[in-house]
Amino acid sequence: MVRFLESLLYRIKEETRKIEKDVTMYNSDLEKNLSYQKMIGRLIRKKYWDILGIEAVRLDERLGENRIQAMKTIVGKQQDHKEILTIPEISAYDFFRYCEICYNANGYFRETRDKLSPREKYNQMADGRHGGLTEIEMHSKEDFREWYNSGKNPGAHPWEICRGGNSTHISLMVVESGDAWTLMLAGSSIARVEETVKMAVALYENNIPFILHEGEAILQMITGNDYIGIVPDHTYPVYCHSLFPKEDKIIDFMNLGHENTEAIISNAYWYPLKPILIT
C-alpha cells in the first residue's frame, strides 16, 4: 500500500508539472490520447441495436406496432390535456384494481392456479412497506383520503407496485390534486420499461386517467430514437443525468465495455473534454 501511494504521489506531481509547464499542450495531448473508456459520449439507440444485431433487445419489436401507436396517443394527450387527467375520488380498492390492470397486462399471474383478489396480487408484487394501505376499509373513499393525509407512515413505499432496486422498480403513485387525485405511472429503466409500457397501454385501454412519468423519453426509448449516454468505465451507469446536457434528454446509461467497441466508438458522438485551467 505504501509503495502504491508513493507511486501515485509521484504521478500526480509529474502531471502537475506538465500542466504548469504548458497547459495548452497538456489539454491538446489529453484530447488526442485519452482512452474512449474514460470519455463521455452518446449513441442513438437504433444504431446500438444495429451494432448488436441479433443480440439486441428490440423494444419496438417486442412491444409491437399497436402498443407503440397507443403510446403515441398517450403521450400526445398527456402533453395537451395534462390538467384533466385526474380521478375525482379513489378508495383503496380502486387503487388495487388499477394495480391489477397493470399486473394482468404483463401476465404476472398467468400461471397462478388460485384466483387472487387485486389486494392479494398487490401484496405479492409490491415492495411490502405499504404503510397501512392494505389495512384500511377497502371501499371507503373517505378512509383513503384520511390515510393519505395522516402523515403516520414515514418511510413507507405504498406506490412501489413492482419491487426492485432504486432505479429498477415500477411505481403507480397517487397524488392529491386539490379535490381530485392524479395517478402517475413511473418506470423508465431499460430493465423495466417494456413492463411499464404494457401497464400504460392497459390503463389507457381501460379508460383510467393517468400521467406517464417521462412519457416522451419512454416513447423515444422504445422506438430507438433516444440517446444512450456512455459514461467512463470507472462510473457506474446509473443516475448519470448530470453528466449530460439537459437538452439531450438522456435517461439510460452504459459503459463502453469491451465488446463491439470499435463500432460503438465510430457511431457515437463524443463530448469535448472540459479544458484544464490554471487560475
276 phi/psi in degrees, rounded to 5: -75, 135
| Mean pLDDT (whole number) for 39-49 | 98
Distance CA 199, CA 186 (A): 10
Which is higher by pLDDT, 265 or 151?
265
Return the half-sphere exposure (C-beta side, CA atoms, 13 A cut-off) of residue 152: 9
Distance CA 33, CA 12 (A): 18
pLDDT cut 70: percent of the chain above it: 99
β-strand partners of 253: 229
pLDDT of 200-245, one tens digit each?
999 999 999 999 999 999 999 999 999 999 999 999 999 999 999 9
The pLDDT of residue 150 is 86
Whether this prediction's pTM lies above 0.85 is answered by yes
Lowest mean pLDDT among 153-167, 197-211, 237-251: 153-167
| Mean pLDDT (whole number) for 261-269 | 98
Q: Which residue has the cell 422506438?
A: 223
Lowest mean pLDDT among 11-15, 58-62, 77-81, 229-233: 77-81
Q: Is 200 left (phi over 0), alpha (psi -120 to 50) or beta?
A: alpha
Domain ranges, ordered by start, for the chain: 86-209
List strands edge to edge, sheet with 211-212: 160-162, 170-177, 180-186, 211-212
pLDDT of 91-135, one tens digit each?
999 999 999 999 999 999 998 878 999 999 999 999 888 989 999
The pLDDT of residue 5 is 86
Burial state string for 121-153 with b = 16 or more CB within 10 A and e = fewer than 16: bbeebbbeebbebbebebeebeebbebbeeeee
pLDDT cut 90: percent of the chain above it: 72
Integer Rg of the chain from CA:
24
| Mean pLDDT (whole number) for 167-173 | 94
83 pLDDT higher than 60: no
146 phi/psi in degrees, rounded to 5: -65, -45
For residue 216, count other CB atoms closer than 10 A to its CB: 14
| Mean pLDDT (whole number) for 53-64 | 96
